[in-house]
Amino acid sequence: MANWKPWTREELAAKAASDIPEGWSVNLGIGIPTLIGNYIPTDREVILHSENGIVGMGPAPAPEQLNPWLVNASRQHVTLVTGASYMNHADSFGMVRGRHLDLCVLGGFQVAENGDLANWSRSENDRAPAIGGAMDLAVGAKRIWVVMEHTTKNGEKRILRRCTYPLTATACVKRVYTDLAVIDVTDKGFVVIDMVPGMTIGDLQALGDAPLHQA
Amino acid sequence: MIDKFVRSVAEAMAGIKDGSTVIVAGFAQVGEPRALVDGLIEQGAKELTVVHNTAGRGREGVARLIGEGRVRKIICSFARSRGSVLFEEVYARGDIELEIVPQGTLAERIRAGGAGIPAFFTPTGGGTLLARGKETRVIDGRECVLEQAIRGDVALVEAWRADRWGNLVYRDAGRNFNPVAAAAGELTIVQTQNVAELGELTPETIVTPGVYVNRIVHVPSGDPPVVIN
């Protein structure tokens, strides 16, 4: 019987948020990554970018302050912080591809030890997949962090030697936050830098197929 | 005197031919030229290639155009979003061709179309399924994919304010694809929420210079629907 407890989505978001330093420009993807915005301390100036042309995005509005013209790339109503600006869609993705964002945090299906990411389709035969902006973000930001559960609900491994799902981008992931561990992707492969209390490297190793190194 | 305003949506949509490529701007229902898409449905052109971020939602706008069998091909980044029921039906019957494009590549292809750049290499999609069948080249150690510009026979745009020259200002996140779409249309048609006198929009604030715009129709349709996820 396992004597460790996975981090919750909120704990995971808070953990990633605590690692984002003041001054970074950051894009937060759909899902748990979006939650990270709620845990960045308000006195820490981090500039949030949204693909639909917002630089300086703030939190969700109070109902009476909702502006129907202001949504983020996840179709959620948001606010602006002081100093915010708008761009058109092409310039916004130019900012992404041009390596002007310090960080993008994406959800993931699989991460490989060489940094390959799969997060948009579970099969080559998916006839009408949704890509959105994930491929542009994955090749463009200075660093990519992935937040995902360590295994699928059915226990399938996601920390792999090579991805089996179609790739979003090659060799792009720098760090993975799972509900069980924080793992850096380095030249020598996966390096575990944090684990939930009670977890051993041996336990964690059994939940993925790529070798794990200790920091 | 230059005056690009027309009196009705029907007048704005006049002359659009079957087989046209139509760029429809907008993102998440904000800055989306809904009245013009409805006008295109009324106008009747068919065998269209539609360029839009999604394949539409619900049963309105681009989704309805697809549902009525008027779209031969859709070029988009999100074919399958929640509520894209009409696309699903038509796609399942094999009655529509789908070209799926990363969102940034879609925006850049439209920008390139308006800017006279016929094609460009981008790292987006390099080493993935989307590079298959396309010309690739390793540049600075990264596989890059050759992507073709998109130019519209027609571009449909929504502005917040427009003057008679076609100078445009957008509201908040309503800017999105609109400026690049406006530049990439052979025939650029604008619906505007508000009308400005020439000179009222200050030069520093004009996002789209009127040279890009052909026809404008005043559609004070009000706020976009509040998005409920």
Q: What is the mean pLDDT of residues A167-180?
A: 98
Contact B176 A52 (CB under 8 A): yes
Q: Residue A134's closest chain B neighbor by CA?
A: B102
CA distance B218 to B227: 24
Check whether B24 has a pLDDT greater than 90.
Answer: yes
pLDDT band at residue A205 using 50, 70 and 90 as cut-offs: very high
Instruction: Specify whether the backbone of B172 is left (phi greater than 0), alpha (psi in -120 to 50) or beta.
Output: left
b (16+ CB within 10 A) / e for B73-108: ebbbbbbbbeebebbbebbeeeebebebbbbbbbbb
User: Interface pTM (ipTM) of the complex?
Assistant: 0.96
pLDDT tens digits for A73-85? 989 999 999 999 9
How far is CA B101 from each of CA B1, B86, B96, B220, rounded to the nearest angstrom?
41, 20, 16, 32
Contact B179 A54 (CB under 8 A): no
CA distance B22 to B221: 22
CB pairs under 8 A between A and B: 152
Residues in chain A, total: 215
Q: Do A22 and A103 meet the contact criterion of CB atoms below 8 Å apart?
A: no
Interface of A with B in 69-128 (CB under 8 A): 69-77, 86-90, 92-94, 96-97, 121, 124, 127-128
Q: Do B163 and B195 meet the contact criterion of CB atoms below 8 Å apart?
A: yes
B228/A contact by beta carbon, under 8 A: no
A2/B contact by beta carbon, under 8 A: no
Interface of B with A in 76-95 (CB under 8 A): 77-81, 87-88, 91
Q: What is the mean pLDDT of residues B152-172?
A: 98
Contact A88 B176 (CB under 8 A): yes
| Residue found under tokens 């035969």 | A125
Residues of A in contact with B101 (CB under 8 A): 131
pLDDT band at residue B229 using 50, 70 and 90 as cut-offs: low
Contact B127 A169 (CB under 8 A): yes
Residues in chain B, total: 229
Check whether A162 has a pLDDT greater than 60.
Answer: yes
**Dihedral angle over CA of B20, A75, A11, A99, nearest 10:** 50
* B129 contact partners, CB below 8 Å, separation of at least 6: A121, A124, A166, A167
Given A10, A11, A51, A149, which residue is catalytic? Answer: A51
Share of chain B above pLDDT 90, in %: 89
Contact A88 B207 (CB under 8 A): yes
Q: What is the mean pLDDT of residues B105-132?
A: 97
Share of chain A above pLDDT 90, in %: 89
Residues of B in contact with A86 (CB under 8 A): 170, 172-173, 175
Whether A51 is catalytic is: yes
Q: What is the mean pLDDT of residues B54-61?
A: 88
DSSP character for A63?
A: G
Check whether A72 has a pLDDT greater than 90.
Answer: yes
CA distance A30 to B70: 32
DSSP output for B125-191: TTTSGGGTTS-EEEETTEEEEEEE---EEEEEEEEEEE-TT--EE--GGG-TTHHHHHHHEEEEEEE
The strand pairing partners of A184, in sequence order, are A175, A191
Which of B193, B47, B38 is CA-nearest to residue B56? B38
Residues of A in contact with B102 (CB under 8 A): 131-136
- Chain A interface test: which of B85, B124, B169 (most A C-beta within 10 Å): B124
Helix or strand (DSSP H, E) at B11: helix B9-12
DSSP output for B59-91: TSTHHHHHHTT-EEEEEESBS--TT-HHHHHHH
